[in-house]
Structure 1
Amino acid sequence: MNADLNWRPLEIGPSDVGAAATAEGLLAHLRDHGDLEDLLVKEKAVVFRGFGVAPGELDGALDLLLPNRLAYVHGNSPRTKVGKNVYTSTEYPQEYTISMHNEMSYAHQWPARLAFYCEVAPATGGATPVVDGVRWLEALDDEVREAFAGGVRYTQNLHDGYGLGKSWQQTFETDDRGAVEEFLAGAEAGWEWKADGTLRITQLRRATTRHPVDGTEVWFNQADQWHAAGLGDETAATLARILPPEDLPQSVTFADGSPIPAEWVLQIRDRGLDSAVDVDWNAGDLLLIDNVMVGHGRRPFTGSRRVLVAMSNSAADAARAEQLRTAVDAA
């Protein structure tokens, strides 16, 4: 399947759908529209702009946009939980670009949808770039795509409260080792508790995936974010002086354990960003994306940008979860 080089997220404003320029106008449109599954498969990403959704009105919109809001369990990005499975989008320093990625593509299961909400728009910059996964895959050299065909191996070292990166308690939102082990067993991950309390996790994953509805193959891994080369020469060199590769907070190799060349990592990062389309923010805007078809990132910014994120599984998964809850309640 060839990528549409002119692809952009669909923008929906009040005048486009004959709705009031208010949060209630958006809610009425979403209620009338029904489930967004077909629209997302077709458009891949949708921006709801001009409805002026206030922070106190966000939950109502998210309840309609996301069929089953998920906790950010096993997420590796620094975030703060600010509501009912609503998080800050990232707390990475504002002067840096965050490269393109599909949320939790390194995990056994990942959210099907993401919704971003702009509470405070930045003074300058701060766009959320989004990239069509087909275009990203096709932008890579043949030798890179072929080399990654065997998949990748992710390694995490999660400390016990003090150290670089996130602790295992923060990552899994629990201090129960048994609950963490149960989660990892279900995620087909390997793990080891170190003497200092560090939890080392290894995961073998594919480098591409296919969309569950239309079968489209997309680039779907976070090799460039987990590889030291993606951090820049100076940062990578500093980490190399502090820690051996196997003890870094996160690292990645090919599935067989062989190293991924730094130049390929940079190609993946740069071509993803070059292929992306920027979504600029106004306070009250919402962006809904299909997390399989579309990668996202963040441009540098100035000022007090505050963008929140929530995630969900698919409508089908949500229905199965509700059936399970009903069966448990009836037992």
Structure 2
Amino acid sequence: MSDRNGWTPLEVRPQDVGADPTAEALAGYLDSTDVGGLLVREKAVVFRGFHVPEDGLDPVLDRLLPHRIAYVHGNSPRTKVGSNVYTSTEYPPAYTISLHNEMSYAHAWPTRLAFYCAVAPASQGATPVVDGALWLESLDDEVREAFGRGVLYTQNLHSGSGLGKSWQETFETQDRDEVDAFLKGTDADWSWGPDDALRVSQSRRSTLHHPVTGAEVWFNQADQWHPASLGDDTAKALAQIMPADELPQSVTFADGSPIPDAYVLQIRDRGLQHAVDVDWHEEGDLLLIDNVLVGHGRRPFTGPRKILVAMSD
């Protein structure tokens, strides 16, 4: 499957590169390959058939991700399972996770992501990926122009009990001083409130130019942070409990004006419309993506699906 421009992630199998179907052979291939150049050229690369076991994943990740980083200030529910290796977003399997670039709401984001199949789903469960330049191009002029002013993200993080993630989970610390020190370098506004709760606001851009190719791509998570993405019933239920700016996460235009529901639904739907599905066939499959050039998401699935993710700056 490919998008309308004919793009699809490159697939690399042992027979394609004259290698044995082992993790050691994959590591050797990566040692002799300009991984950075390959990724910029292809945007996303899938490695299949190397049978990388979970307990042998680290040497491969060391080559795919030169400097693995922690998921600090991440907003998705995950579990840390290794050295800066996490479960992919832990949302119920019946739901689609829309396309996004990891941590595009943050001051700094990972440049690369690697996904690893520890347990393949019984059915479905693909990781869709979308060319960010095509996603931007697919949006109506009205939407692109409106987002030209940027967006403002707001997080309300509790201290252990409440909706959404706690600040302890989000920043991987129990120390408020560590959180303050981290946020001082992020161009964010934040304040501590009653019950040790934390409110963080960040004004960010909506598009980004890739540092190597210069391509302009859609690069924000407004559709995921907007109440409209929750569905009518859920959004209405939450609106009866609390105003939008008190939700665990919310978003407006940078000047504080509301983003129309129709805009975020168009963004979500066109990202999914132009996505290419990367299916998970067996344990050991790996997907490497350029986190600026490509957005990613998740299709619904059945069965135990376990996909791990790691990131590099």
TM-score, normalising length from structure 1?
0.93
**Given that residues 4 and 274 in structure 2 are in contact (C-alpha distance below 8 angstroms), is that contact kept between their aligned partners in structure 1?**
no
Does residue 76 of structure 2 align to residue 97 of structure 1? no
Count the aligned residue pairs.
Answer: 310
Offset at residue 125 of structure 1 (A): 0.6
Distance of aligned partners of 1:4 and 1:302 in 2 relative to their CA distance in 1, 3 Å threshold: closer
TM-score, normalising length from structure 2?
0.98
**Given that residues 13 and 49 in structure 2 are in contact (C-alpha distance below 8 angstroms), is that contact kept between their aligned partners in structure 1?**
yes
Offset at residue 32 of structure 1 (A): 1.4
Superimposed CA distance per residue, residues 27-78 of structure 1 (whole angstroms, 9 cap, x where no aligned partner): 1111111x41111111000000111111111111001100000000000000
> Where does 1:274-293 land on structure 2 (aligned, <5 Å)?
274-282=273-281, 283-293=283-293
Superimposed CA distance per residue, residues 135-154 of structure 1 (whole angstroms, 9 cap, x where no aligned partner): 10001000000000010000
Offset at residue 25 of structure 1 (A): 1.3
The aligned residue for residue 29 of structure 2 is: 29
> Where does 1:122-201 land on structure 2 (aligned, <5 Å)?
122-201=121-200
Superimposed CA distance per residue, residues 70-124 of structure 1 (whole angstroms, 9 cap, x where no aligned partner): 0000000000000000000111000000000000000000000000000000000
Q: Give me the whole-angstrom Cα distance separating, in 1, the residues matched to 2:254 and 2:9.
A: 34
- Corresponding residue SS for 2:51: coil
Does residue 19 of structure 2 align to residue 19 of structure 1? yes
> Where does 1:70-89 land on structure 2 (aligned, <5 Å)?
70-89=69-88
Offset at residue 4 of structure 1 (A): 6.7
Q: Give me the whole-angstrom Cα distance separating, in 1, the residues matched to 2:5 and 2:233.
A: 34
- Corresponding residue SS for 1:311: strand
Offset at residue 196 of structure 1 (A): 2.0
Q: Give me the whole-angstrom Cα distance separating, in 2, the residues matched to 1:49 and 1:170.
A: 33
**Counterpart residue identity of residue 242, structure 1:** I
Q: Give me the whole-angstrom Cα distance separating, in 1, the residues matched to 2:4 and 2:11.
A: 17
> Where does 1:222-261 land on structure 2 (aligned, <5 Å)?
222-261=221-260
The aligned residue for residue 118 of structure 2 is: 119
Offset at residue 301 of structure 1 (A): 0.2
Gaps of 5+ in 2: none
The aligned residue for residue 213 of structure 1 is: 212
The aligned residue for residue 304 of structure 1 is: 304
Alpha-carbon RMSD across the aligned residues, in angstroms, is: 0.9
Q: Give me the whole-angstrom Cα distance separating, in 1, the residues matched to 2:124 and 2:47.
A: 19
The aligned residue for residue 317 of structure 1 is: none
Gaps of 5+ in 1: 314-331
**Counterpart residue identity of residue 119, structure 1:** A
**Given that residues 151 and 206 in structure 2 are in contact (C-alpha distance below 8 angstroms), is that contact kept between their aligned partners in structure 1?**
yes
The aligned residue for residue 294 of structure 2 is: 294
**Given that residues 101 and 296 in structure 2 are in contact (C-alpha distance below 8 angstroms), is that contact kept between their aligned partners in structure 1?**
yes
Superimposed CA distance per residue, residues 242-284 of structure 1 (whole angstroms, 9 cap, x where no aligned partner): 1111110000000000000001110000000001000000221
Q: Give me the whole-angstrom Cα distance separating, in 1, the residues matched to 2:234 and 2:6.
A: 35
The aligned residue for residue 65 of structure 2 is: 66
Q: Give me the whole-angstrom Cα distance separating, in 1, the residues matched to 2:32 and 2:132.
A: 30
